[in-house]
A and B are shown apart, each in its own frame.
Chain A
């Protein structure tokens, strides 16, 4: 079965194209776009870890190592498409157009962080594992029913494939041929449990066979493979050819969240040979004449400024309003909830 799902690569670890048929499609614009977003979300991610260490935000799940997965897939989407992320996919949502201040707010325990910019179909991060797969199936089913060519992408990790909702989601998607991209980031670990303890099958992509849908295994640290294969799946969905399961094999460089220590469960040295996706793209850029040391420095300064401004935006955001505890549970507050709200606001006045 593993042999039926070889890992697709377009660019190798040294940043060389191994599939020259993509030569023409990989142009300056795409390269710079991928690099810009990968560097941008890494800058965000590292800042977030540092903010957590300083107690300025809450527990934070870093995505370092998965930037190619998140940027490559998000850039393959169109403006009106739907994104259903997990809590580790804010790199994808930032790339797709989520607001950075709101992203920091989310990790600082603010529900305001779940509010996507107007017109952007970005769902709040799903914390219950695999549940969002079904939402993506439903939302894309709705688009199909409306006769649009919009699609939905569901992000999920390797651990999610053990949950019932993964199977129910893939089954629904294939039975109703919904335009859904099932984008798996297999980063090797679900918190502390390695993939070989998660499942007895050799690949996640092969699970597509059970649902009669196309499945592909790609090198998730190769931003070109991610971008082009996601784009292919998106186009198939737009053309009415239903869902695709993509397994992007990647590596979580750091901890599950800032609350755990991976040295406790990951053998030392494991993953050390993996070339960071950003380093790999930089090697390609250097090999192929896209690299401009000065321009990259300027970009990094610009991104640092953007992130610092967003941190400032978080800090200066209006204080949490106790009324928001009550006001959004229902469209119209039921009398007993209204009473609880009035009681509490009165109590706060002292």
Chain B
């Protein structure tokens, strides 16, 4: 078994690490950048005094002041639109959308300006901005608090989309996102905020945007997932191993641009694929992954590609969310079915 993220830390020879949850790692990533770069500015609803509804920004306003950790009006388009102005004028805004289902009022600003300002001004103006947003179902949250809208943004040109699954990647990718010269949507799997723990170096480090990780190594089938689906994919891979099916588990980590080389190298080896995402199936990112496999691995495939996804329905009220979300059982069954094709 290869733990890619841990390996990176070991290879880098880091000694000062601490076990933390993902939410702590995100907090530390923000702190690191507030310390390292005085142009970093945090904006969002309830991120200051309250430290964020998930405590991602806890303590940061106390340490960096109201000017750099800004409690904004309840105004998503306002936050993103004002961040565009800050970004073109020398600041690096890290804007929090309280839940991904709350990003829609800001969609216009992201689609019509954030994504295309660099192109239309041929580089004269750019928008180095990060939009942090907790996403996903599974924590019995109220309506609209559980959406997983990555495909809206992977479809949007000019935007990078990142989604860590563990504390190490969360901090490293967040720092990379803040340092990136272009806009990054940073999706945080809220059900993993406190459910995942791991070693996180205390120093500043980055995880490269655009690179996935091979979390588990097998020979028979490739499971592709990201974010909150990773722990489920890993459990399903373990269950499949009991049945004699050995899986590669890929954590994409970046959803745009996809790590096509990693996907191709794994699928060319295994010839079988199961893609797992909690967003709705139609128009989902899984379909782009299938297209890329079609381009690079057509003659290597030994079975039709399987998908375990949310259904083509609005993310339901939480009483039904366990039926909407992929489960270990559904994934394991799909692995078996693809394997036995």
The proximity string for A residues 311-339 relative to B, scoring 1 for CB distances below 8 Å and 0 otherwise, is 00000000000001000111110111100
Q: Which residues of A contact B126 (CB under 8 A)?
A: 331
B121 touches A135 (CB 8 A): no
Given the known interface contacts A111-B122, A142-B89, A328-B118, the answer about A128 and B108 at a Cβ–Cβ threshold of 8 Å is: yes
Nearest CB of chain A from residue B291's CB, rounded to whole Å: 11
Query: Which residues in A have their C-beta under 8 angstroms from that of B77?
Result: 134, 164-165, 168
Name which residue of chain A comes closest to B116, CB basis: A329
Task: Tell me the bound Cα distance from A143 to B213 in angstroms.
Answer: 41
A135 near B84: Cβ-Cβ < 8 Å: yes
Partner of A168, one of B81, B86, B90: B81
Would A138 and B120 count as touching, CB distance under 8 A?
no
Q: Does B112 contact A (CB under 8 A)?
A: yes
Tell which of B89, B108, B116, B157 touches A138, judged by Cβ atoms closer than 8 Å: B89
- Interface check B182, CB cutoff 8 A: yes
B132-147 vs A, Cβ < 8 Å mask (1 yes, 0 no): 0000000000000000
Q: Is the C-beta of A145 less than 8 angstroms from some C-beta in chain B?
A: yes
CA distance A124 to B84 in the complex (A): 13
Report the minimal beta-carbon distance from B14 to chain A, rounded to whole angstroms.
27
A137 within 8 A of B: yes
CB-based A-B contact count at 8 angstroms: 138
Chain A residues with Cβ under 8 A from B124's Cβ? 114-116
Stretch at the interface among B67-75, B274-282, B304-312: B67-75
Q: A168-B75, A330-B158 are in contact. Are A134 and B81 (CB under 8 A)?
A: yes
User: Are the C-beta atoms of A131 and B109 separated by less than 8 Å?
Assistant: yes
Whether A331 contacts B122 by the Cβ 8 Å rule is no
**In the bound complex, how far is the Cα of B82 from the Cα of A152, in angstroms?**
12
| Interface presence of B166 (CB below 8 A) | no
- Residues of B near A138 (CB, < 8 A) are 81-89
Q: Check B120 against A114 for contact (C-beta < 8 Å).
A: yes
Q: Do A146 and B90 touch across chains, with their CB atoms under 8 A apart?
A: yes
Annotate B155-167 by CB proximity to A: 1 below 8 A, 0 otherwise: 0011010000000
Query: What 1/0 flags go to A131-159 for Cβ under 8 Å of B?
Result: 10111111111110110000010000000
How many angstroms between the C-alpha atoms of A145 and B181 in the bound complex? 21
Q: Do the beta carbons of B122 and A137 come within 8 Å of each other?
A: no
**Chain A residues with CB under 8 A of B182:** 330-331
User: B122–A141 contact, CB under 8 A?
Assistant: no
Question: Is the pair B78, A145 in contact by a Cβ cutoff of 8 Å?
Answer: no
Within 254-273 of B, Cβ neighbours of A (below 8 Å) are at 256-258, 260-261
Does A172 have its Cβ within 8 Å of any Cβ on chain B?
A: yes
Q: Cβ of B91 and Cβ of A145 under 8 Å apart?
A: yes
The answer on a CB contact under 8 Å between B73 and A111 is: no
Contact with B along A112-135 (1 / 0, CB 8 A): 101110000001101110010111
Contact A134 B82 (CB under 8 A): yes
Judge whether A171 and B89 touch: CB under 8 Å.
no
- CB contacts (< 8 Å) of A142 on chain B: these are 85-86, 89-91
A62 at the B interface (CB under 8 A): no
Per-position contact with A for B177-200: 1 when CB-CB < 8 Å, else 0?
Answer: 000011000000000000000000
The one of B87, B109, B119, B181 in contact with A111, judged by C-beta atoms closer than 8 angstroms, is B119
A251 at the interface (CB under 8 A from B): no
Q: How far is the CB of A343 from chain B (nearest CB, A)?
A: 11
Query: Could you tell me the distance between the alpha carbons of A334 and B181 in the complex, rounded to whole angstroms?
Result: 13
A123 to B84: give the CA distance in the assembly, Å.
11
Other A-B pairs, 16, CB within 8 Å; known A131-B112, A175-B73:
A114-B120, A114-B121, A116-B124, A123-B88, A135-B88, A138-B88, A142-B89, A165-B77, A165-B108, A168-B77, A168-B81, A324-B122, A330-B181, A331-B181, A335-B257, A336-B260
